[in-house]
Amino acid sequence: MADRFDFIIVGAGSAGCVLANRLSADPAIRVLLVEAGPEPRNPLIRIPAGMSRLFHPGPHNWGYTSQSEPFLNDRTLYQPRGKGLGGSSAINGMVYLRGHAGDFDHWRQLGNPGWGWDDVLPLYRRHERSAHADGALHGGDGELSVIDPSLRHAFSELFIAAAEDAGFRRNADLNSGDPEGVGYVQYSIAHGRRCSAYEAFVRPIRRRANLVIVTEALVEKVLLDGRRATGIAYVRHGRRVVAEAGREVILAGGAINSPQLLMLSGIGPAAHLRDKGVAVVHDLPAVGQNLHDHPFASLSFQAPARYSINHRLRGLGAVVEAGRYALTRGGVLALGTTQNNLFARVAPGADRPDIQISTRPFSFIIKGTRILVNKAPTITAAVCLLRPESRGAVRLAGPEATRAPDFRFNYLESPRDRQTFVDGAKLAYRVMAGPRMTGFAPVMPLPNDDEAILEKLRAMAGAMYHPVGSCRMGPGADCVVDPRLRVHGIAGLRVADASIMPLIVSANTNAAAILIGEKAAALVLEDWKAWSGMTLR
């Protein structure tokens, strides 16, 4: 069985949903959107606090686990990834942060014209429906709802004041391109409900006659005719299907799945592919390399009862909040995971923030894949290393698409990463020990020397769930795609998701992943118009 489309998009996550919307806006373009997961029918997807349940492996979560991390005491780390329409935007914490202008300017300096801050800002504005809409920095007419917190916890305001006491400026707009300082984050939430990439970009247009959406379909490989992509083969409900692409196949599966699919298709490091039983079509050593993420550590503090909402997230309190949400779509269940962030520079010579401290007016522990809210009144200050140097890789576990890939991040391999992370933890403790933080006490006292602090961090640090970089963008041999996101050496094939980031952005990555979908669509449509004009002539 075969069907023919102009463009095939593999993966209906943050970038894939934007691509499906933009490409199918032209009725002359026939688009196929293929997703391994199901339709987003689980009601927990729409409830912001429902992400604590979606964190578990299940129909909407690939539920991956890394290989042992040698610099984190050889621990394996759980890595949830969205599976279903909306991808990880359907299960994440809904924090909407663009990143620092310098992040994108650095991408451009690495040989990626068109990716600087001035280039991407209009694309951010295009899809935003922002609470800060002003026509210059923030869009107001786009599909994606971007809001300020609907309520502000007492602890959130207290932490901002404490950070100001410590010498940091209050920043009213962390999405201005310069997030340095302390302020409230924004969320991709609309009227108390999650605004995933699917809800924003695909649900409103999914009846377009030229857009076909196939869910619960596992793509086995990209089909190739020599060095040209011609389509895909996927399995759905036990049946193998071939779909042909007249123009391009676009991979948007994310930093774990996109390199996996390239390698399953014979595109990647030749020796590794042969070792795993995959016929080599194109030796591209960079595929799967440059994998990185934001390592972070959640630091818990005992708190005066009025500053912690743990009691509202457990037992009878949780029942009351569920009733409040059902009646009003308000209360603590209508918010994202964190309320405010402190962006700071701690490494000598840093030109932009290298540490992000995110606070939560509650605390929890993760046991395996379960999230358990603590009983005692506690709060959290989570320390995140924004610009890590350490790199890992994605590799095949075998030649079958049904086998989860192997991957390792090598968190804290770099000595600079280790020192910056330690200094970030010290900063969090310093702010939390400020004069107005009466009644707060660290659950884990801070050791006296840096080496002891590092050992504590090695034992508790985890993933921020922001994997990027494994299909790096750039002109060099260490890159997978060029600045137009075309796979080096293969015609008719692009990658458009967080895997193309040469360097991770200095913020949560979902907003940037949506941006990549927007940019990719613009590039594809430019080429489509050029091709259509040539065809007509």
135 lies in some domain: no
Q: Is the pLDDT of residue 281 over 50?
A: yes
User: Do residues 203 and 283 both lie within one domain?
Assistant: yes
Mean pLDDT along residues 408-435? 98
User: Do residues 397 and 253 both lie within one domain?
Assistant: yes
User: Do residues 213 and 307 both lie within one domain?
Assistant: no
pLDDT of 369 reads 61
Dihedrals phi, psi of 380, to nearest 5 degrees: -130, 140
Beta bridge partners of residue 394, listed in sequence order? 407
Domain containing 441 equals: 150-184+295-387+413-460
138 lies in some domain: no
Distance CA 344, CA 386 (A): 10
Which own/partner pairs from 528-533 qualify as long-range (CB within 8 Å, at least 24 positions apart)? 528/6, 528/26, 528/29, 528/247, 531/247, 532/28
Distance CA 52, CA 45 (A): 10
Distance CA 256, CA 249 (A): 18
Q: What angle do CA 205, 40, 33 make, to 5 degrees?
A: 50
User: Do residues 65 and 199 both lie within one domain?
Assistant: yes
User: Do residues 74 and 198 both lie within one domain?
Assistant: yes
CATH of the domain at 250: 3.50.50.60
pLDDT of 532 reads 78
Structure tokens at 34: 């293929």
Count of domains observed in the chain: 2
333 lies in some domain: yes
pLDDT of 336 reads 85
User: Do residues 348 and 495 both lie within one domain?
Assistant: no
Distance CA 277, CA 221 (A): 14
Residue 466 among the catalytic residues: yes
Chain mean pLDDT for the chain? 95
140 lies in some domain: no
pLDDT of 95 reads 97
Instruction: Pick the closest to residue 12 from 259, 250, 222, 262 (CA basis).
Output: 250
pLDDT of 318 reads 83
Q: What is the pLDDT of residues 162-196, one digit of tens each?
A: 999 999 999 999 999 999 999 999 999 999 999 99
101 lies in some domain: yes
User: Do residues 198 and 115 both lie within one domain?
Assistant: yes
Q: What is the pLDDT of residues 205-249, one digit of tens each?
A: 999 999 999 999 999 999 999 999 999 999 999 999 999 999 999
Structure tokens at 223: 């089909």
Q: Is the pLDDT of residue 86 over 50?
A: yes
417 lies in some domain: yes
Place 314 in a pLDDT band, splitting at 50, 70 and 90. Answer: confident
Distance CA 264, CA 122 (A): 36
Distance CA 205, CA 227 (A): 34
Domain end, chosen from 439, 460, 481, is at 460
- Weakest mean pLDDT among 110-114, 180-184, 320-324, 395-399: 320-324
Place 370 in a pLDDT band, splitting at 50, 70 and 90. Answer: low
Distance CA 26, CA 525 (A): 9
Helices and strands counted in the chain (H then E): 12, 28
pLDDT of 182 reads 98
User: Do residues 360 and 287 both lie within one domain?
Assistant: no
133 lies in some domain: no
Q: Is the pLDDT of residue 3 over 60?
A: yes
41-54 b/e (C-beta count within 10 Å ≥ 16 → b): ebebbbbbbbbbbb
Residue of higher predicted confidence among 321 and 28? 28
Q: Are the beta carbons of 456 and 444 closer than 8 angstroms?
A: yes
Q: What angle do CA 43, 41, 127 make, to 5 degrees?
A: 90
**Catalytic member of 100, 292, 466, 488:** 466
CATH of the domain at 347: 3.30.560.10
Instruction: Pick the closest to residue 222 from 273, 254, 252, 263 (CA basis).
Output: 263
pLDDT of 311 reads 83
Mean pLDDT along residues 199-209? 98
Distance CA 441, CA 433 (A): 8
User: Do residues 438 and 359 both lie within one domain?
Assistant: yes
Residue of higher predicted confidence among 321 and 285? 285
Q: Is the pLDDT of residue 537 over 80?
A: no
User: Do residues 433 and 493 both lie within one domain?
Assistant: no
Q: What is the pLDDT of residues 7-66, one digit of tens each?
A: 999 999 999 999 999 999 999 999 999 999 999 999 999 999 888 889 889 999 999 999
Instruction: Pick the closest to residue 217 from 246, 176, 253 (CA basis).
Output: 253
Q: Are the beta carbons of 521 and 514 closer than 8 angstroms?
A: no
User: Do residues 403 and 506 both lie within one domain?
Assistant: yes
Q: Is the pLDDT of residue 368 over 70?
A: no
Distance CA 456, CA 341 (A): 23
**CB neighbour list of residue 377: distance below 8 Å, 6 or more residues apart:** 302, 303, 304, 305, 307, 308, 310, 311
Instruction: Pick the closest to residue 95 from 512, 519, 373, 518 (CA basis).
Output: 512
**CB neighbour list of residue 373: distance below 8 Å, 6 or more residues apart:** 310, 313, 314, 362, 363, 364
Q: Is the pLDDT of residue 1 over 50?
A: no
Share of the chain above pLDDT 70, in %: 98
Instruction: Pick the closest to residue 409 from 430, 428, 424, 394 (CA basis).
Output: 394
131 lies in some domain: no
User: Do residues 256 and 358 both lie within one domain?
Assistant: no
pLDDT of 535 reads 61
Distance CA 50, CA 349 (A): 41
Share of the chain above pLDDT 90, in %: 88
Residue of higher predicted confidence among 303 and 316? 303
